[in-house]
Structure formats: structure tokens, C-alpha cells
Amino acid sequence: MDSQLSDIRKEYKKGKLTRNTISENPFEQFARWLDDALHCGEDEPTAMIAATVSPDGRPSTRTVLLKGVENGRFIFFTNYESRKGRQLAANPHISLSFVWHKLERQVHIEGIAERCAPRESDAYFSTRPYKSRIGARISPQSRVIGSRMEIIRAFVKEAAKLAGQTVQRPDNWGGFAVTPTRFEFWQGRESRLHDRFRYTLREAAPVPAWTILRLAP
Ligand SMILES: Cc1cc2nc3c(=O)[nH]c(=O)nc-3n(C[C@H](O)[C@H](O)[C@H](O)COP(=O)(O)O)c2cc1C
């Protein structure tokens, strides 16, 4: 074992989570913690690790940005033909993880991802900076390319082709909306005796009902 790495150790002392103080509604609990993360100086408070699986059950992860929580769905945007996009088309199960180091907190979410309606994706796409819109049109995300120059040439060519026009969202780019079936909220505590609460969806309709249980650290 590398002694320098194994010596890195930090006590987590910044907060606690109790059954009496957590919300009965996981979305409300998430909103509280996201709000704390947005105001505590965290570098990328909306960044989340999205895990998907291949058809033969191999997991893969990458970071994406949460762009909204709407109607009980966590929304992010990506290329539908990317590795994650293709995996979600074959198997919509997804896990999302937020880590807010400044707060010594993490949230895990598991659920089902589906494509956003085209009008939702259009609405978000139109708010993106011009260069990001061009980039989304020309990048064959996750495919092997020959060189950086190849992608820059494609970018310049597309920008010239669309000069003076509205840059439309390409069909292979848009949102995924994740409907959670499980949440876990983790607050670091001293001596590794962390607080963990799990919400599992007991009933989806007519109103979502959640079972809340404390987990061992
Ligand atoms: C902070 C951060 C934010 C990112 N946000 C996104 C995003 O919102 N959408 C996206 O497609 N890729 C985003 N990426 C890039 C992805 O992590 C990943 O490289 C890309 O989506 C391709 O993943 P895939 O090949 O597994 O599909 C982000 C990366 C970082 C580090």
C-alpha cells in the first residue's frame, strides 16, 4: 500500500442527518441539499456521476450536469448516440450520484431514464451558448476520431454553413429524464459513523409514497 495515500484521512464533522429533520419527501430533501451545495462554494454543485450498464451487465460511469428537477424527474442533456445514450436505449436503468465535498454529503439516486419530449430538449438547446449548439451538432460523442483538428474543421464548417441562421437542435442530441425509485442521503460523521437514509418508492400512484429507513454507515 502507498503509505502517502493510505495516510490521507479526514474526520467528517460538518453536519448530521436525523429521522426527525429529514423531509418525508425525497425531492424536498434533495432540494434542501442542492440549495446548500449551490451556496457553499462547491465548484460544480450540479455535477453528478451517471452510471449505466452495457447489455452484458458491465457498468460504466461519467459526469453529467443536472439541468433541472421537473415533475419528479432529474433532467440532463447529452448525445443520444453516445455510449451512455446507446446503453440507456437498451436498458433504461440508471444511477446518479452527487458528491458535495465541502458539505461532506453525497446523494445516490436510482431510477429509470427516458428521453425528454423533443419540445423540452428544443427549449433547453435554444438557451445554450452558440458555440455549444454548434458543437452538439458536429460531435459524434464517444466515437473514435483521428485528431482534434478533425473536430475543429467540422466545427468551423458547420458554423460557416449556418451563418445567420438559427442553430437547430440535432435529432441525436437531447434530454434524459430520470424518474427515481430510490434515493440515499449520506452525511459524513465522526469516526466513520455516518448518517445514511434510504427512501424507496412504496407506491407510485396516485401520490408517490416513500419508505424511509436508516442504513448502517
Ligand atoms: C463537470 C463535467 C460535466 C459534464 N457534463 C456533461 C453533460 O451534461 N452532458 C454530457 O453529455 N457530457 C458531459 N460531460 C462529459 C461526460 O462526462 C462524458 O465524457 C461524455 O458525456 C461521454 O460519455 P459516454 O462516452 O460515457 O457517453 C461532463 C464532464 C464533466 C467533467
Please check whether residue 156 lies inside any domain of the structure. yes
Q: Is 47 a residue whose pLDDT tops 90?
A: yes
76 lines ligand 1 (CB under 6 A): yes
- pLDDT score of 142: 96
Task: Compute the distance between CA of residue 73 and CA of residue 180 in angstroms, rounded to an integer.
Answer: 7
Asked if residue 203 and residue 154 are part of one domain, the reply reads: no
pLDDT tens by residue, 111-129: 999 999 999 999 999 999 9
Close Cβ partners of 180 (under 8 Å, ≥ 6 residues apart): 26, 72, 74, 109, 110, 111, 201
Residues 175 and 147 in one domain: no
Distance CA 72, CA 66 (A): 13
Nearest to 171 by CA among 81, 76, 91, 66: 81
Closest CA relative to residue 187, chosen from 120, 106, 131, 126: 106
**What would the pLDDT profile of 88-112 be if each residue is shown by its tens digit?**
999 999 999 999 999 999 999 999 9
Cα 192 to Cα 11: distance, rounded to the nearest angstrom: 8
The count of domains in the chain is: 2
On whether the CB atoms of residues 187 and 32 are closer than 8 A, the answer is no
* pLDDT grade for 82, boundaries at 50, 70 and 90: very high
The rounded mean pLDDT for the chain is 97
Q: Is 4 annotated as a binding residue?
A: no
186 lies in some domain: yes
Q: Which of 60, 67, 78, 82 to mutate to test the pocket of ligand 1 (most atoms within 8 A of CB)?
A: 78
- The count of other CB atoms within 10 Å of the CB of residue 24 is 10
With respect to residue 2, please indicate whether it lies within any of the assigned structural domains. no
Q: State the CATH number of the domain containing residue 64.
A: 2.30.110.10
Q: Say whether both 35 and 91 belong to one domain.
A: yes
Q: Is 185 in the pocket of ligand 1 (CB under 6 A)?
A: no
In this structure, are 140 and 179 located in the same domain? Answer: no
Same domain, 103 and 40: yes
Same domain (yes/no): 180, 112: yes
Q: Can you give the residue range of the structural domain that contains 185?
A: 12-126+171-215
**Domain identity same for 158 and 189:** no
Rounded (5°) CA angle 213-176-201: 20
Nearest-CA neighbor of 194 among 12, 26, 21? 12
pLDDT tens digits, residue range 164-194? 999 999 999 999 999 999 999 999 999 999 9
Taking residues 135-163, report their average pLDDT: 98
Residues 96 and 161 in one domain: no
Is 4 among the domain residues?
Answer: no
Q: Is 106 in the pocket of ligand 1 (CB under 6 A)?
A: no
Q: Provide the grid cell at 123.
A: 427549449
pLDDT at 160 over 80: yes
Query: What is the model's pLDDT at position 205?
Result: 87
Residue 198 lies in a domain: yes
Between strands 68-70 and 73-79, the pairing is antiparallel
Query: Would you state the pLDDT for residue 2?
Result: 78
Amino acid identity, position 45 = P
* Same domain as 151, residue 176: no
Q: How far apart are the first and last CA of the chain?
A: 24
Is it the case that residue 78 has pLDDT exceeding 90?
yes
Asked if 212 and 201 count as a contact pair (C-beta separation under 8 A), the reply is: no
**Would you state the pLDDT for residue 3?**
78
| pLDDT tens per residue across span 25-36 | 999 999 999 999
Residue 1 has pLDDT above 90, yes or no: no
